[in-house]
């Protein structure tokens, strides 16, 4: 079973603490390296400040009683300086070295003057030491003095711990804030979804007819599609109900005729048999028509577009053979990629009726045009002929929906009422246009749902 949206976001939220820990570790390591470099640079600057105030005296050096950095003047401040001779040992220490017992490095090979070095000395306390050998004067016989600045690593560790504590508190607080924000975000995102679920439940209980579409655009598309499905289902039920009612009403007269003929006492003559056969044929036509009307016209919201051009070619090929003695001039302008969003049999029913009427009543010419209005998702089909046409005042009558077969209107006949029913079921419309140039007869345009057929639809 797929995970719920809440569970998916919850799993994502669990990654936040892991991310914060990883980010904190990277920041801490970067800070440690930066802190070490900063301390070395600081000790180097302090070493140069000692050299600036030093005065050579015989084999030693004179230093002032107080130094600029107050930590050198404070006892056990963790930072002290000293000057030692490579041969004779320590000749000067700052006041801050008072009470500190450190193990002086053993004399080794004489270092090169001016070569600064950085090292760590471990003992009771760990120290970071920076030293610079100096020889005052140009004579190689002058003593080699080593200036050193010592800093207790405890101070560096305290600074590092302080940063780590601040970083942990900051990232921990940020993680908690993000977790709370995600919880609020989940509730906020789920609110419209929960509202849709509640409204669907109300529709299921017949407490409302449709779902509101006042939602964020991502959900509004879903609610609009659901409303379309509900509307289609409602229209389908109404269509079945109306068709069954029309079917029952249409069968009353044929059944009454048959019942009357069967109630005759004498044997049935040939005229009675023919009358019953005629009524049975009418009943068969009524049943076929009404069932066709009840089951047709599912709106193509998610339908795959059906190519229109092959349907037009198939229908015109058959009808041209039927009316070949009329020798009509057929012209067509059909977009090859035009597609109908609906059932192909419904399209054949509509086009078959209109094209047959055009061939039947046309005198010399028939014109068929098929185009797509992509921005409106509409399929435009226009069928024109040069026959007598349909009077505008009779247009509403010839397309009356559900007209009875025993009261067919004159003119184009029952075909137009079938077409009008199918067009209405697809929420399209049918128009009677004025004649143009050579086609001054009937010009009928169908506006149906459609779109261009792309390679993905094939």
Q: pLDDT tens digits, residue range 227-238?
A: 888 887 777 777
Residue identified by tokens 């809440």 is 6
* Confidence band, pLDDT 50/70/90 cuts, at residue 399: low
Q: Are 130 and 117 in contact (CB under 8 A)?
A: yes
Q: 75: which 2 tokens? A: 């006892």
Q: Where are the alpha helices (DSSP H) in 63-152?
A: none
Are 48 and 65 in contact, with CB atoms under 8 Å apart? no
pLDDT at 413: 47
The mean-pLDDT minimum among 125-129, 155-159, 242-246, 328-332 falls in 242-246
Residue 349 has pLDDT above 50, yes or no: yes
**What pLDDT digit, counting tens, does each position of 167-205 carry?**
999 988 988 888 888 888 888 888 888 888 888 888 877
The answer on pLDDT for 258 being more than 50 is: yes
> What are the structural domains, with CATH classification, of the chain?
1-97+112-208 (no CATH), 217-295 (1.10.287), 306-457 (3.30.565.10)
* Per-residue pLDDT at 423: 87
pLDDT at 1: 61
Q: Which residues contact 254 (CB under 8 A, 6 or more apart)?
A: 279, 280, 282, 283, 286
* Mean pLDDT, residues 436-458: 83
At 261 the pLDDT is 66
**Banded model confidence at residue 411, pLDDT cuts 50, 70, 90:** very low
Q: Alpha-carbon distance 173 to 413, whole Å?
A: 80
Q: What is the mean pLDDT of residues 365-376?
A: 89
Global pTM value: 0.45
Q: Which residue has the tokens 């023919």?
A: 274
- 367 sits in the region (left: phi over 0; alpha: psi -120 to 50; else beta) called beta
What is the rounded average pLDDT of the residues 363-373?
92
Helices and strands (H, E) in the chain, number of each type = 8, 14
Neighbouring C-alpha atoms within 13 Å toward the C-beta of 78: 8
Residue 407 clears pLDDT 60, i.e. is over it: no
Contact in structure between 144 and 110 (CB atoms under 8 Å): yes
Give me the pLDDT at residue 303, please.
59
Rounded Cα–Cα distance for residues 82 and 91 (Å): 8
Largest CA distance in the chain: 162
For the four alpha carbons of 391, 392, 393 and 397, in that order, the dihedral sign comes to positive
The tokens of 246 are what? 């029309």
Q: How far apart are CA 457 and CA 378, in angstroms?
A: 17
CA 336 to the chain's CA centroid: 31
Which stretch of 26-40, 143-157, 221-235, 348-362 has the lowest confidence by average pLDDT? 221-235
Which pLDDT score is estimated for 336?
92
Tens of pLDDT, residues 82-134: 988 877 788 888 988 888 877 766 656 777 888 888 888 876 678 888 989 88
């Amino acid at each position: 079973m797929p995970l719920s949206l809440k569970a998916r976001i919850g799993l994502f939220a669990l990654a936040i603490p892991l991310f914060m820990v990883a980010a904190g570790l990277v920041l801490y390591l970067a800070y440690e390296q930066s802190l070490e470099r900063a301390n070395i640079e600081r000790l180097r600057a302090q070493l140069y400040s000692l050299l600036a105030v030093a005065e050579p005296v015989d084999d030693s050096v004179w230093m002032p009683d107080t130094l600029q950095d107050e930590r050198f003047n404070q006892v056990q401040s963790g930072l002290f300086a000293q000057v030692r001779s490579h041969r004779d040992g320590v000749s000067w220490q700052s006041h801050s070295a008072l009470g500190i017992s450190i193990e002086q490095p053993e004399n080794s090979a004489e270092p090169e003057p001016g070569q600064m070095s950085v090292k760590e000395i471990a003992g009771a306390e760990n120290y970071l030491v920076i030293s610079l050998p100096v020889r005052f004067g140009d004579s190689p016989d002058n003593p080699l003095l080593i200036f050193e600045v010592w800093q207790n690593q405890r101070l560096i560790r305290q600074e590092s711990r302080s940063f780590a504590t601040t970083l942990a508190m900051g990232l921990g607080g940020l993680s908690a804030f993000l977790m709370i924000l995600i919880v609020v975000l989940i509730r906020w995102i789920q609110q419209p979804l929960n509202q849709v679920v509640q409204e669907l439940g109300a529709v299921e209980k017949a407490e409302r007819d449709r779902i509101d579409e006042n939602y964020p655009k991502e959900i509004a598309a879903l609610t609009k599609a659901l409303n379309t499905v509900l509307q289609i289902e409602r229209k389908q039920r109404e269509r079945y109900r109306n068709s069954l009612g029309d079917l029952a009403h249409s069968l009353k007269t044929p059944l009454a005729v048959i019942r009357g003929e069967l109630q005759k006492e004498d044997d049935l003559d040939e005229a009675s048999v023919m009358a019953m056969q005629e009524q049975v044929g009418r009943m068969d036509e009524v049943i076929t028509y009404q069932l066709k009307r009840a089951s047709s016209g599912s709106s193509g919201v998610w339908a795959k577009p059906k190519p229109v051009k092959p349907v037009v070619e198939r229908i015109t090929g058959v009808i041209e053979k039927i009316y070949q003695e009329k020798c009509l001039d057929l012209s067509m302008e059909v977009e090859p990629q035009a597609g109908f969003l609906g059932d192909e049999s419904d399209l054949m029913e509509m086009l078959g009726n209109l094209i047959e009427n055009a061939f039947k009543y046309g005198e010399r010419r028939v014109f068929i045009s098929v185009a797509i209005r992509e921005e409106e998702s509409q399929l435009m089909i226009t069928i024109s002929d040069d026959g007598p046409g349909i009077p505008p005042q009779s247009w509403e009558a010839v397309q009356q929906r559900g007209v009875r077969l025993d009261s067919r209107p004159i003119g184009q006949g029952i075909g137009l009422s079938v077409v009008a029913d199918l067009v209405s079921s697809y929420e399209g419309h049918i128009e009677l246009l004025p004649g143009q140039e050579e086609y001054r007869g009937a010009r009928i345009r169908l506006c149906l749902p459609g779109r261009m057929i792309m390679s993905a639809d094939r």
